Structure 1
Amino acid sequence: MAQDAKTLDLIAIGRSSVDLYGQQVGGRLEDMSSFAKYLGGSPTNTAAGGARLGLKTGLLTRVGADHMGRFIREQLEREGVNVAGVLSDPDRLTALVILGIRDRVNFPLIFYRENCADMALQPSDVDETWFAQAGAVLINGTHLSQPNVYETSLKAARAVKAAGGRVAFDIDYRPVLWGLTGKDAGENRFVENQDVTAKLQEVVALCDLIVGTEEEIHILGGTTDTIAALRAIRKGAPDALLVCKRGPDGCVAFPDAIPDTLDEGVSARGFKVEVFNVLGAGDAFMAGFLRGWLRNETVETCCEWGNACGAIVVSRHGCTPAMPTWVELEAFLSERERPFRLREDVELEHIHWASTRDRVYDELTVLAVDHRSQFLDLIAETGGDPERIPHFKTLALRAVRQVAGRDEARFGMLLDGRFGLDALAQAADHDYWIARPIELPKSRPLEFESSADVATELTEWPAGQVVKCLCFYHPDDEIALRERQERQLLRLFDACRKTRHELLLELILPAGMDSDSRTVARAIRRLYSLGIRPDWWKLEPLQDAVAWRETEMAINENDPLCRGVVLLGLSAPEAELLASFEVVAPFPIVKGFAVGRTIFYDVARDWLAGRIDDEAAVAALASKFKVLVDAWRRLRGAAEKAA
């Protein structure tokens, strides 16, 4: 099959696990008290890293029919990896790795891999038709350590070769997984063993690309003399491109005969950065190198891209989450000066964050029922039972489900943690965009509702929930008030990034203060100048096209990767909201609306007073919500057509 007819650039085979990374850096693994959960396993990391760099990748592995197996599959789908080969094994658990960062040299890890799902791959798991669609297959040294996975890897490699594809081999030597060390020595990278060498050498004749560290070159070549090892590999793979990774010194590649010194091979610039975590850097190198190799770039370019990806990941916590995207790699390779402590490169970290967020939202229509004080006002007015408020919010969720149907990805809800926990729990089973308020209602200066340490509070929130913060803010506020609020927003922005939550900043101009067509844009520019980059803005439904033009310019000039704006309602009458929709529809920065009281207030009053039942409340909420959804889509469609 011709290379340009392939539907996939690469299929990786082998290890797929859940990595539990200790979050306390500098201590013993024994003393870790909390862990971050990431996608893991060398070929899995590379498949995800390749997808981030624009390759069409797939993965053949097994995962358990358990929660962690579903996590792996769902996360791979989010990364854009083809999961046709991610097979569910009902008899085994998903593989697990526990890792820590002790210092710049020691990275203790424990592999939980005995009778795990990914090591149970069988040759019958190889769909040769699927593999024939791939331009290349990536096999992995760890999956040569057991007979069943060895045969599986070779069958896949032969299927790809028979269809005109290529084979890449990541030596990926972990002595513990060959039974050569104690189980507490997972970080050990080299134990000399001739049986392992013989087993690894059996596959080299099939390979077009072979990549390893110097230690891995040693085990494959059967000697600790690197040049001699490379020459031994060359005998078994006369036409393969051999690549030796050299850590901070980058890499060196050998497309032909092996010279007398490593420095005589093909190389490219390396990147000197502070080492924070070496785990995953090799997988990132492989992803970057493969991006070039599979797109027929020069060997020098492949080396440079591999070096750059490795340098980026070695500066971060985690493996797959640290992998760069293509736009991030381009930014890194620019001539801009970078700090040695790469994690302090604010611009690069922002690009990484913004270009790895889940989904792209061209439209977002949200029912906002995160209100707390307003519901208490309704209780006071109707004499209703405050214990009923949480149930009403689940009725609002039912209304959204009724309007959205199966089109969940374009719909959302704003729900609070005080009265909305039941609805939040139910919404977790759906694909809605969910945001949750953090501010103390009506506070000015801004205060947070729960813990004074907002980062501690956010660690208890599900990762998919967007943090919503309403701030009554004016760029001409009295200086002390403005600076106090800005300090709070800076704390919140930092907490959101560190806990990996998106931030929705709702900006409302205080009543009674003068404003014009540039006031909101000035406020936005002021907050950007402080380093606050919300993922979303929630703004008032102004019927001033000039103000919206200024707002769009302010956002695009300061953060072109911002997700966009949703309109708030401010309890405006329906006709007034629809008029504002018509004004903003021509502005692409506005993605939709997040409206609450206009939709729910009268319905909630009647329900709390006992004048309507659950079904009538759901029907009324759905009807009001649908009017706004339909109007938004009609007006946005007309604006796009006119443009």
Structure 2
Amino acid sequence: MEGARRQLDLITIGRSCIDLYGEQTGGRLEDMMSFAKYVGGSPTNTAIGAARLGLRSGLVSRVGADHFGRFIREQLVREGVATDGLVTDRARLTALVFLGIRDPDTFPLIFYRENCADMALSVGDIDIDLLQSAGAVLINGTHLSQPNVFEASVHACELARAAGARVVFDIDYRPVLWGLTGRDMGENRFVADAAVTARLQQVLPLCDLIVGTEEEIHILGGSTDTVAALRAIRGQTDALLVCKRGALGCSAFPSAIPDSLDDGVVGRGFKVEVFNVLGAGDAFMAGFLRGWLRDEPLETCCEYGNACGAIVVSRHGCAPAMPTWDELQWFLGDRGRPFRLRDDTALEDLHWSTTRVNVHEDLTVLAMDHRSQFEDLCRESGADPSRIAAFKALALKAVDRLAQGDARFGVLLDGRYGMRGLEAAADHPYWIGRPIEWPGSRPLAFESSADVATELATWPRNHVVKCLAFYHPDDPPELCERQERQLLRLQDACRKTRHELLVEIIASRHGTVDAHTTARAIRRLYDRGMKPDWWKLEPAADLATWANIESAIRSHDPHCRGVLMLGLQAPSDELVASFRIAAASPIVKGFAVGRTIFADAAARWLAGSIDDEAAIADLCGRFAVLVDAWREARAAAQLPREAV
């Protein structure tokens, strides 16, 4: 098949599981108290890493018909990895791995892989058309340990070679998965075994590229002398051999094996603190393949692999730690970097912003996160405050009636009164925002425990943390600094709990506002270290205000998600007029409006004059007016689609 016809650059075959990573470091796995859930399995990690580096990748594997299998499939889609070859196994569960970080040399592992889904992969699961659509196929040593997956892997290689694709072999040796150690010795990387060597060597004639650590080269070559092992491998294949050497980088051997590993082709190495070696090899593979599959010089391939490995070795997790192409380019640039790489704020910011998923270029949100305003309505109408929760549950029903599954819609609800709506939103594709601030607080206070991170740890990851600050750039310095400290605390908590952050700024309540005020506030917050994913800002009556805001955001954070406009209970016609102005600014993605939409329906519903259906219809109708007005304004602005 001609290269121009190929739909994928790479298909990886093999393990696909859930990594449960201990969140406490420096102790035994026995003493871990909580675990972070990530996609895992070496071929799956590599597929994600390759996709982040710009390769078109796909995965062939099996997952269970369970919650974890669905998570893997959904995450692969979010990462841009093709899932055509991912089979759902209704008889088996998705595999699990528990992992810990104890010290720079100790990383305990427990594999829960008894009769798991991915090890049931068979020849019948290999789609010929899919395999022939790829420029390369990667197989994995672990998947040669059982007859059925061995046959499936070999069959895939044969199909790939027949179609003119290249075959990559990741040795990926885990003795415990070959039954050579106790189950509590998952971190053991080498046990010599002639039978394993013989099994692995059967695939050598099919390979174009073979990658492994020194221990993995030893098991494949049948010798604990690395050079001797490499020569034994070379005796059976003409493939490019790459030996990963940890902190020393790697050595590649396109032909004869020299007397020293240092005499192979090497790329620039990088000295960084080792925090977590798990996943670094998969990152190396992704980086190397980014160069190799694009026909870069071998030295460049090695450098890409070394750099990706160095980045991931400094982070928690495997798949989520994989760098993007932007990160790799930043890392390779001529600039100083700390030895403790995770202290590189610029790199970590770039990682965060370039690995976010679900881009929203058009977002219309029904904001019903108000708390004190609903309590005021109850006092005015004499309604029981316990009824607020029932009304707020109608918000999602109104959004869904209008949106009909359109992911350009969203809902903003609080956890105090809106929890039923937040819970129901989990089954829909809509954007979900949730407030963290104490209503009306100035200086800013949080509606949570003393440690805001503890509160956010209880929130689902897809809840965007919204924080309203009554903040004016001309506030007294002490007030500004106090509010900024709170916002920085919140941002740190959001990054650690992996939540997006929306910062809402209302300046007009506490000072005069001109075309520069909001932009000045934004610039000051950026200068203090803030980089929220979203801004939520007051409507503006002139183009100059939005131009200043856009300049402030673009100059400090070109990866910012954008701005949502708030409503401030303005009449619909005033908001529609403000939409026409804001729509000309590409940084404005839509709106999050509340009281303009719900105030009348809420007052009547709490007073008992309308029922649920009437309230939903009213909410839906008023929301639809603003949605239509926004989209008409955006269309009238005639912006190029890629700029919107």
Could you state the TM-score of these two structures normalised by the residue count of structure 1?
A: 0.99
| Residue in structure 2 matched with residue 367 of structure 1 by the alignment | 366
2:340 match:
341
Distance 1:570 1:406 in 2: 27
**2:278 is matched with which residue?**
279
Counterpart position of 2:356:
357
2:358 counterpart letter in structure 1: R
Alignment RMSD (CA, Å):
1.0
Give the equivalent residue in structure 2 for 1:117: 117
Query: Residue 523 of structure 2 aligns to a residue in which SS?
Result: helix
CA distance in structure 2 between the partners assigned to 1:513 and 1:169 by the alignment: 65
Q: Does 1:301 align with 2:307?
A: no
Shift of 1:387: 2.0
Structure 1: distance between partners of 2:381 and 2:425: 28
**TM-fit CA distance, 1:512:** 4.7
1:631 aligns with 2:604: no
Shift, 1:385, TM fit: 2.4
Q: Distance in 2 between matches of 1:163 and 1:332?
A: 36
Partners in 2 of 1:631 and 1:377 — Cα distance?
30
User: Retained in 1: the 8 A contact 2:287–2:305?
Assistant: yes
Give distance in 1, aligned partners of 2:513 and 2:570: 19
- How far off its partner does 1:610 sit? 1.4
Which AA in structure 2 matches 1:500? Answer: R
Cα distance in 2 between the residues matched to 1:510 and 1:40: 48
Which residue matches 1:231?
A: 231
1:486 corresponding residue in structure 2: 484
The CA distance in 2 between the partners of 1:467 and 1:476, in whole Å, is 26
Residue 151 in structure 1 maps to residue 165 in structure 2: no
Q: Deviations along 1:545-568, whole A, 9 cap, x unmatched? A: 111111100000000000000000
Partner of 1:515: 513
Mapped to 1, the partners of 2:65 and 2:479 lie a distance apart of 54
Give the alignment of 1:463-612 within 5 angstroms: 463-612=461-610
Per-residue CA distance 1:408-466 (angstroms, 9 max, x = gap): x1111100000100000000101111010000000011110121110100000001100
**Correspondence for 2:167:** 167
Deviates more, 1:84-93 or 1:346-355: 84-93
Q: Any idea what the Cα deviations from partners look like across 1:289-315, whole Å, max 9, x if unmatched?
A: 111111111111110100000000000
Q: Return the offset for 1:153.
A: 0.2
Displacement of 1:383 after TM fit? 1.5
**Structure 2 partner of 1:423:** 421
TM-score of the two chains, using structure 2 as the length reference: 0.99
- C-alpha distance in 1, partners of 2:38/2:191? 28
Which residue of structure 1 aligns with residue 55 of structure 2? 55
Alignment of 1:85-484 (within 5 A): 85-238=85-238, 240-407=239-406, 409-484=407-482
CA contact 2:601–2:618 (8 Å) conserved in 1: yes
Q: What residue number does 2:22 align with?
A: 22
Amino acid at match of 1:588: P
**What is the CA distance between 1:640 and its match in structure 2?**
2.2
SS at structure 1 position matched to 2:621: helix
- Shift in Å at residue 514 of structure 1? 2.2
Farther off after superposition, 277-286 or 262-271: 262-271
Paired amino acid for 1:594 = A
CA distance in 1, matches of 2:551, 2:146: 59
Alpha-carbon separation, structure 2, partners of 1:204 and 1:88: 30
Q: 1:37 matched to which residue of 2?
A: 37
Q: Matches of 2:509 and 2:219 in 1, distance apart?
A: 72
| Cα separation, 1, equivalents of 2:500 and 2:460 | 11
Which secondary structure does the structure 1 equivalent of 2:88 belong to?
A: strand
CA distance in 2 between partners of 1:533 and 1:432 (Å): 23
Residue equivalent to 2:7? 7
Q: Which deviations, in whole Å up to 9, do the C-alpha atoms of 1:580-629 show, x marking residues without a partner?
A: 11111110000000000000000111111111111111111111101111
Tell me by how many angstroms 1:511 deviates: 2.1
Distance in 2 of aligned mates of 1:118 and 1:548:
52
Q: SS state of the match for residue 180, structure 1? A: coil
In structure 1, list runs of 5 or more residues that go unmatched.
Answer: none
Residue 355 of structure 1: how far off its partner (Å): 0.5
Partners of 2:502 and 2:141 lie apart in 1 by 45
Identical-residue share of aligned pairs (%): 69
SS class of match (1:460):
coil
- CA deviation after TM superposition for structure 1 residue 510, in Å: 4.6
Instruction: Report the residue type matching 2:322 in the other structure.
Output: M
**In 2, Cα distance between the equivalents of 1:512 and 1:504?**
21
Contact 2:405 2:430 in 1 (8 A): no
Displacement of 1:386 in angstroms is 1.8
Q: What is the CA–CA distance in structure 1 between the aligned matches of 2:639 and 2:169, rounded to whole Å?
A: 50
Q: Alpha-carbon deviation of 1:544?
A: 2.1
Q: Is the 8 A contact 2:405 2:429 kept in 1?
A: no
Where 1:622 maps in the other structure, the secondary structure is: helix
**What is the SS of the residue equivalent to 1:172?**
coil
Partner of 2:36: helix, strand, or coil? strand
Q: Give aligned pairs, total.
A: 641
Partner SS, residue 504 of structure 2: strand
Residue 126 of structure 1: CA displacement?
Answer: 0.7
Cα distance in 2, alignment partners of residues 571 and 641 from structure 1:
28
1:280 deviates by: 0.2
- 1:196-232 per-residue CA deviation (whole Å, 9 max, x = no partner) reads 1110000010000000001111110111111111111
Which residue type is aligned with residue 611 of structure 1?
A: S
| Structure 1 CA distance for aligned equivalents of residues 244 and 264 of structure 2 | 12
2:11·2:60 contact (CA, 8 Å) conserved in 1?
yes
Question: How far apart in 1 are the matches of 2:299 and 2:53?
Answer: 18
Alpha-carbon distance in structure 1 between the residues aligned to 2:156 and 2:230 = 25
Aligned equivalents of 1:137, 1:349: Cα separation in 2: 31
Distance 2:74 2:269 in 1: 34
- What letter corresponds to residue 459 of structure 1 in structure 2? A
Aligned-partner Cα distance in 1 for 2:63–2:287: 26
Instruction: Kindly provide the amino acid, as one letter, of the partner of residue 3 in structure 2.
Output: Q
Whichever residue aligns with residue 109 of structure 1, its letter is L
Alpha-carbon distance in 2 for matches of 1:76, 1:108: 26
Output the CA distance in 1 between the equivalents of 2:285 and 2:362: 36
Q: Within 2, Cα distance between the matches of 1:640 and 1:49?
A: 37
Shift of 1:631: 0.7
Secondary structure (helix, strand or coil) at the match of 2:110 reads strand
For each residue in 1:215-258, what CA deviation from the matched residue of structure 2 results, as whole angstroms up to 9, or x when unmatched? 111110111111111111111112x1110000011101011111
8 Å CA contact 2:51, 2:79 repeated in 1: yes
Q: Give the conservation status (yes or no) of the 8 Å contact 2:276–2:314.
A: yes
Report what 2:70 is aligned to: 70
2:574 aligned counterpart, secondary structure: helix
Equivalent residue letter for 1:458: L
Amino acid at match of 1:630: D
User: How far 1:119 moved relative to its partner?
Assistant: 0.7
Match of 1:614 in 2: 612
**Alpha-carbon separation, structure 2, partners of 1:641 and 1:108:** 53
Structure 2 distance, partners of 1:207, 1:398, is 55
Alpha-carbon deviation of 1:358? Answer: 1.3
Whether the 8 Å contact between 2:584 and 2:639 is mirrored in structure 1 is no
